[in-house]
């Protein structure tokens, strides 16, 4: 890993403590609660067209309008078939399956370098033991790394109850794959790429009637230790996934 990337990564890691970021909502300053918009009032504005009432929307348009963040999950197990489809269509190979050198995936990647790796912590999925698995994209299989109850470790990584979600998807970046072509921009491109995957996951969860919550605040060092990552691979993104809790208060994010 380039020293510039390592320095930035080290300075932006989360490490939870007793008083970390747990500011009650009632104490949030206005700048935290208010949503800001940029406008150019001195320039001409041209109104975009809205679909007339009753107009037919495409399946994707409907899906985008229904997407929501889920922060509370039911105790119900996830279906193994749905988990398989979720991984395959959010991260898997979509073209040239038989040629790993030219295979393309379901999301864009700078220079087709594909630095993203995916791991899942299984808490409650029918047909699968609890534990930690790696998604092997090339063969479209999951590889069992640790078979044991990791809910305690997952809760410590996230610092809240979402660690008990039926499934936690962890995205990491092997930055050396992209550094060889783009240098220090490898970190920026890997973050963008993780975002592409995250949106795939979010929309697929909505399609499959699952809930999901994208998480950027997690204990980097705990994840690296759990996954036994090398120096060249760093945690980037985490997504909690499960059946929606019908009693959850609706969220707007």
pLDDT at 248: 53
* Average of per-residue pLDDT across 5-27: 77
Burial of 163 (0-12, 13-18, 19+ CB in 10 A): buried
pLDDT at 250: 46
Q: pLDDT (tens digit, 9 = 90+) per residue, 83-98? A: 999 999 999 999 888 8
Report how many helices (DSSP H) and strands (DSSP E) the chain contains, helices first: 8, 8
Distance CA 73, CA 140 (A): 27
pLDDT at 219: 94
Can you list the domains of the chain with their CATH numbers?
75-244 (3.40.109.10)
247 pLDDT band, cuts 50/70/90, is: low
pLDDT at 22: 64
pLDDT at 50: 81
Chain centroid to CA 73: 16
Residue 189 clears pLDDT 50, i.e. is over it? yes
168 pLDDT band, cuts 50/70/90, is: very high
Distance CA 176, CA 247 (A): 44
In three-state secondary structure terms, 161 is helix
Residue 253 clears pLDDT 70, i.e. is over it? no
Residue 19 clears pLDDT 60, i.e. is over it? no
Asked whether the whole model's pTM tops 0.75, one would answer: yes
10 Å Cβ neighbour count for 195? 15
Q: pLDDT (tens digit, 9 = 90+) per residue, 45-84? A: 998 888 777 788 899 989 999 999 999 999 999 999 999 9
The helix, strand and coil proportions of the chain, stated in percent and rounded to the nearest 5, come to 35, 20, 45
Spatial contact of 75 and 168, defined as CB atoms under 8 Å apart:
no
Distance CA 155, CA 150 (A): 9
Q: pLDDT (tens digit, 9 = 90+) per residue, 97-155? A: 888 888 999 999 999 999 999 999 999 999 999 999 999 999 999 999 999 999 999 99
| Strand 93-95 versus strand 167-174 pairing type | unpaired
């Amino acid at each position: 890993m380039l020293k510039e990337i390592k320095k930035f990564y080290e300075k932006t890691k989360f490490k939870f403590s007793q008083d970390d970021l747990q500011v009650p909502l009632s104490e949030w300053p206005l700048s935290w609660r208010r949503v800001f918009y940029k406008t150019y009032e001195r320039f001409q504005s041209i109104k975009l067209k809205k679909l007339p009432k009753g107009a037919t929307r495409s399946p994707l348009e409907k899906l985008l309008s229904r997407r929501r963040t889920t922060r509370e999950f039911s105790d119900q197990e996830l279906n193994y078939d749905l988990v398989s489809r979720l991984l395959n269509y959010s991260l898997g190979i979509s073209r040239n399956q038989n040629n790993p050198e030219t295979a393309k995936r379901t999301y864009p990647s700078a220079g087709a370098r594909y630095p993203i790796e995916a791991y899942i912590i299984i808490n409650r999925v029918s047909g699968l033991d609890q534990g930690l698995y790696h998604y092997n994209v090339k063969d479209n299989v999951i590889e069992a790394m640790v078979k044991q109850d990791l809910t305690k470790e997952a809760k410590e990584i996230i610092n809240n109850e979402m660690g008990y979600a039926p499934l936690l998807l962890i995205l990491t970046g092997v930055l050396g794959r992209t550094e060889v072509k783009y240098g220090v921009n490898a970190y920026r491109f890997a973050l963008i790429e993780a975002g592409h995957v995250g949106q795939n996951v979010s929309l697929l969860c909505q399609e499959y009637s699952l809930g999901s919550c994208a998480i950027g605040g997690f204990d980097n060092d705990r994840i690296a230790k759990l996954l036994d990552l090398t120096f060249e691979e760093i945690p980037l993104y985490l997504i909690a996934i499960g059946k929606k809790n019908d009693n959850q208060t609706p969220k707007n994010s």
